[in-house]
Amino acid sequence: MALNIVVGIKYVPNTTNVNIDPKTGTLVREGVPSVVNPHDLVAVEFALELKDRYGGKVTALSMAPPQARAGLEHVLGMGVDEAILVSDRKFAGADTLATSYVLAKAIEKIGDYDLVVMGHETIDSSTAHIGAQVASWLNLPYIYYVTGLEYRDGYFYVTRELEDRVERYKLSKPSLIAIKMHSRIPRHVRLEYKLRAVLDSPIKVWSNDDLGLDPNCIGLRGSPTVVSKVEFTPKVPRKNIVFEGDIRESVQKLIKALLEEGVL
Amino acid sequence: MQHKFDVIVIGAGPAGSSAAYNLAKAGFNVLVIERGRKPGAKSMFGGRVYKAPVEKAFDDLDKAPIHRWVVKERISMVYDEEALTIEYDGRGRHSFTTYLTDLSSWMADKAVSAGAKLVTEVVVDKLLIEDGWVKGIVSGDEKLYADVVVDAEGINRLVLERSGLVEKLRPEHVALGFKEVLKLSKEDVNKFFGLDDDEGLAWVFMGEYTDGLPGGGFLYTNKDSVSLGLVIYLGHAVKELERHVYDLIERVRLSRIFNKYFRDARVMEYSAHMIPADIKALRPKRLVYNGLVIAGDAGGFLLNLGYTYRGVDFAAYTGYLAAKAISEASGDYSLESLSKYERYIDESFVGQDLKRFSGVHDLYENRRLFKEYPMLAINMMRRLFNLEYESTRFKDAFNESRKGVVGLTTLLKDLWGVYRKL
């Protein structure tokens, strides 16, 4: 009954001041404090609950520069058994297509897995592409907005919550699911697990030498996406107009002002 | 847990990392447990560190993230948006400014490079005490054993409180420090304060910014930013302060004296932290127990003279002494054996300073220092310098400013008090 679970981790800049490299259009990550993508923490919690229930092993997988080790140490502290950091300068500048390709190949290399669990998007780019694309590369069933999973008779019975309905699916093994944000509260780290992360360094690092992927399919070269321009929402100065006096008149004045501004 | 360490250090601040570094160098198997995401994440200070004690605790201080060496000291009395300032423009290379988060990371890295292990994001709840001995620590439902524990948890010493070794912290025992870090260009810092690239300014001021409450303000120049903050004594503040502390510091930034520097500055950071104030009350009954040594702010080791604040260097030095006492105990971590640490503290400059200046805290009970005297000083300067036709005699300026504000005997008594205690 034991499950071998792979969970995807992205270490993302924890800031609202995201800087974009004007030349490449990619995110500038240097010097920005990072955290594990909050959606992925929910996915880790989901995976660890499955491990608590059915036994097995949880492996965290991340494609990132070396500083993502800190993020992997965090999820190891939560109880993830081992972590793989896929890291190579050759992977830099990847869009979601090249990223999902590398992740899919890394999951293939892990080989012996029953379930891949991911957050359904990341807070820095919010494409929600990776789950679907990795599932396509690996030809796996894929369900997102997942809130629950039962493992019976070699099948996953998955619950998916949408705004107006709950859907249930029966998935074969292996499958890929993306977890709905806020469906779980990620557990805190434990001293014992953190100690293991520090003392036994269970983070494996795989470069492209380990994966042997075609350079034309990875990194900036394997990325057909072109960010032509990034525009930020303009800051609208507040006008600080206060309508005082009779409530009816004030409301009329407010409506008139809003009409003049073109917002009504 | 099957793991066991020679030493567990609680807290990766300057005291904890200093103890860990020196113990790891001496061959001990050390674990540092830090509750923040990284070392320094929970630390805060005004902005200046004295070099010599830190250099004793850590090698290669020249490789530390030092911003500027303080060469200029200013002390101001402020009243009605005017200031009377004394400035000392020296050559000194005795203290430097920095960001404490960076310095703490550097110190923790030193400890880790020396062989100490560091675990972050883990909260120590209390000491593991069995048969009158500290045997390790408790975190949630987990226990971890060690031969000896160094408590360097800082001023908010919940571990010591929960373990019944110190009384609950009271507002009268601490001050609150809060500051803004304001982003300027390096050139502007140099230009505004008359400094060369690696030269720094330390500026302390007292008077109206604390609403007449005991306390004072500070400004330190970093490489390309300025730390501007206030310290107020919580015992008074909880009873009398009627506004938010962030309003107080904002008022300093917007005041006539400071606004000219910060008109185009961006607030990069706002932070606040407790500071040991009543050192006598804060000192634990013992600094050691069977299997335990207390270092840094947790032991109340901080000196505040109004013109000099010393916390980081005291912390690093007490961590160093803790490591020394533990190394020399050759495995006997009983209270008697570790009490050597108390002797080292009392004989060191830390103990001597705290003893010599033990009366300073009483000065803060004298409200005239924060209200009447700044007012008197400014009024006197106005009479002396804001001339129209007639010039003013010094003694007239003095006497007229003093009249109705403070009696001559009181003034002489206060002067004597300040002279004696400082």
- Alpha carbons A8 and A40: distance in angstroms, whole number: 7
Domain boundaries, chain B: 4-66+99-169+278-361, 172-276, 371-421
Instruction: List CB contacts (< 8 A) between B9 and chain A.
Output: none
Residue B422 has pLDDT above 80, yes or no: no
Instruction: Look up residue B342 and give its amino acid.
Output: E
Closest C-alpha to B33, from B103, B99, B111: B111
Question: Cβ distance B181 to B267 under 8 Å?
Answer: yes
Closest A-chain CA to B122:
A191
User: B177 pLDDT band (50/70/90 cuts)?
Assistant: very high
Task: Read off the pLDDT of residues B214-250 as tens digits, 9 standing for 90 and up.
Answer: 889 999 999 999 999 999 999 888 888 888 888 999 9
CB contact under 8 A, B139 and A199: no
Closest A-chain CA to B1:
A192
Cβ–Cβ contact A17 with B under 8 A = no
CB contact under 8 A, A191 and B121: no
Stronger pLDDT, B317 or B410, i.e. the higher one: B317
Provide the shortest C-alpha distance from residue B1 to chain A (in Å): 7
Provide the shortest C-alpha distance from residue A205 to chain B (in Å): 21
Among B119, B139, B144, the residue with its CB nearest the CB of A198 is B119
- Alpha carbons B320 and A20: distance in angstroms, whole number: 45
What does the pLDDT read at residue B369?
84
Closest B-chain CA to A200:
B117
Identify the residue among B5, B112, B120 best suited for mutation to test binding to A, counting A beta carbons within 10 A and taking the highest: B120
What does the pLDDT read at residue A203?
95
Cβ–Cβ contact A194 with B under 8 A = yes
Identify the residue among A191, A193, A201 best suited for mutation to test binding to B, counting B beta carbons within 10 A and taking the highest: A191
CB contact under 8 A, B120 and A191: no
Cβ–Cβ contact A201 with B under 8 A = no
Task: Read off the pLDDT of residues B279-328 as tens digits, 9 standing for 90 and up.
Answer: 888 999 999 999 999 999 999 998 888 778 899 999 999 999 999 999 99
What does the pLDDT read at residue A21?
66
Among A77, A188, A192, the residue with its CB nearest the CB of B1 is A192
Cβ–Cβ contact B118 with A under 8 A = yes
Question: Cβ distance A155 to A15 under 8 Å?
Answer: no
**Where are the alpha helices (H) located in B241-289, listed in sequence order?**
245-254, 256-262, 279-282
**Cα torsion angle, A242, A243, A246, A251, sign:** negative
Stretches where chain A sits below pLDDT 50 are none
**CA dist list (Å): B232 to A6, B272, B276, B291, B300:** 52, 11, 11, 36, 17
Closest C-alpha to A78, from A113, A34, A43: A43
Closest B-chain CA to A78:
B121
Among B3, B33, B121, the residue with its CB nearest the CB of A77 is B121
Instruction: List CB contacts (< 8 A) between B121 and chain A.
Output: 74, 77, 188-189, 194
Identify the residue among B30, B119, B141 best suited for mutation to test binding to A, counting A beta carbons within 10 A and taking the highest: B119
Cβ–Cβ contact B121 with A under 8 A = yes
Closest B-chain CA to A77:
B121
Among A74, A189, A198, the residue with its CB nearest the CB of B118 is A198
CB contact under 8 A, A74 and B140: no
CATH placement of domain B4-66+99-169+278-361: 3.50.50.60
Task: Read off the pLDDT of residues B114-148 as tens digits, 9 standing for 90 and up.
Answer: 999 999 999 999 999 999 999 999 999 999 999 99
- The 3-class SS string of A75-131 reads HHHHCCCEEEEECCHHHCCCCHHHHHHHHHHHHHHHCCCCEEEEECCCCCCCCCCHH
Closest B-chain CA to A197:
B119
Residue B370 has pLDDT above 70, yes or no: yes
Cβ–Cβ contact B120 with A under 8 A = yes
Question: Cβ distance A60 to A69 under 8 Å?
Answer: no
Could you say which residues from 80 to 119 on chain A have a Cβ atom under 8 Å away from some Cβ of chain B? Answer: none
**CA dist list (Å): B384 to A172, B379, B387:** 91, 9, 7
- Alpha carbons B230 and B177: distance in angstroms, whole number: 6
Q: Which tokens sit at A161? A: 């919550």
Instruction: List CB contacts (< 8 A) between A199 and chain B.
Output: 3, 117
Cβ–Cβ contact A32 with B under 8 A = no
Residue B361 has pLDDT above 80, yes or no: no
Among A189, A192, A198, the residue with its CB nearest the CB of B117 is A198
Question: Cβ distance B364 to B358 under 8 Å?
Answer: no
Stronger pLDDT, B392 or B225, i.e. the higher one: B225
Question: Cβ distance B372 to B407 under 8 Å?
Answer: no
Q: Is B12 exposed, middle or buried (0-12, 13-18, 19+ CB in 10 A)?
A: buried
Instruction: List CB contacts (< 8 A) between A191 and chain B.
Output: 1, 33, 119, 122, 139-140, 142, 144
Question: Cβ distance B50 to B314 under 8 Å?
Answer: no
CB contact under 8 A, B139 and A189: no
Cβ–Cβ contact A199 with B under 8 A = yes
What does the pLDDT read at residue A104?
96
Among B3, B38, B140, the residue with its CB nearest the CB of A195 is B3
Closest A-chain CA to B112:
A198
**CA dist list (Å): B46 to A141, B53, B74, B211, B274:** 56, 18, 15, 20, 11
Q: What are the φ/ψ torsions at residue B303 (nearest 5 degrees)?
A: -115, 125
Question: Cβ distance B12 to B30 under 8 Å?
Answer: no
**Cα torsion angle, B243, B246, B252, B256, sign:** negative
Cβ–Cβ contact A1 with B under 8 A = no
| Torsion (CA) A221, A223, A229, A234 in degrees, nearest 10 | -130
- Alpha carbons B21 and B151: distance in angstroms, whole number: 15
Provide the shortest C-alpha distance from residue A195 to chain B (in Å): 7
Cβ–Cβ contact B139 with A under 8 A = yes
CB contact under 8 A, B1 and A199: no
Average pLDDT over residues B52-75: 95
The complex scores an ipTM of 0.84
Instruction: List CB contacts (< 8 A) between B120 and chain A.
Output: 194
Residues in chain B: 422
Instruction: Look up residue A210 and give its amino acid.
Output: D
The DSSP secondary structure of B155-222, one letter per residue, reads: SS-HHHHHTTSSPPP-GGGEEEEEEEEEE--HHHHHHHHT--TTEEEEEEEEEGGGTTSSEEEEEEE-
Whole-number percent of chain B with pLDDT over 70: 100
Strand partners, B5: B146
Q: Is A137 exposed, middle or buried (0-12, 13-18, 19+ CB in 10 A)?
A: middle
Provide the shortest C-alpha distance from residue A51 to chain B (in Å): 20
Whole-number percent of chain B with pLDDT over 90: 68
Instruction: List CB contacts (< 8 A) between B117 and chain A.
Output: 195, 198-199
| Residue located via tokens 């705290």 | B354
Provide the shortest C-alpha distance from residue B141 to chain A (in Å): 9
Choose the CATH number for B172-276 among 3.40.50.300, 3.30.9.90, 1.20.1270.30, 3.40.50.720. 3.30.9.90
Provide the shortest C-alpha distance from residue A183 to chain B (in Å): 23
Q: Is A63 helix (H, G, I), strand (E, B) or coil?
A: strand
CB contact under 8 A, B119 and A195: yes
pTM score of the predicted model = 0.88
- Spelled out in words, what is the top-level CATH class assigned to the domain A3-217? alpha beta
